[in-house]
Amino acid sequence: MAVMIDYPCRNMAARLQAKGALVKLLCRKGWDRQRVLDIFHVLDWMLHLPDYLERQL
């Protein structure tokens, strides 16, 4: 999935938007905070955002 998001979304604003949408989806699906944080550790490894955008999440 990360490859599908990363390949067409080379600009950083699109990555930020994709990560934000994923958080909202996971929360709607009932994921607890720790589980969301765990998946984001993996996503951050694959889809790194610059610090200034990461702080906007």
Report the C-alpha gap between 41 and 33 in whole angstroms: 13
Q: Which residues contact 55 (CB under 8 A, 6 or more apart)?
A: none
The total number of structural domains in the chain stands at 1
Q: Per-residue pLDDT tens, the chain, 57 aa: give them.
A: 455 454 555 677 787 888 889 889 999 999 999 999 998 888 777 776 677 777 776
Name the CA dihedral angle for 36, 38, 43, 46, rounded to a multiple of 10 degrees: 180
Element (H, E) at 37: helix 33-46
pTM across the whole model: 0.58
Give the domain range for residue 17.
2-54
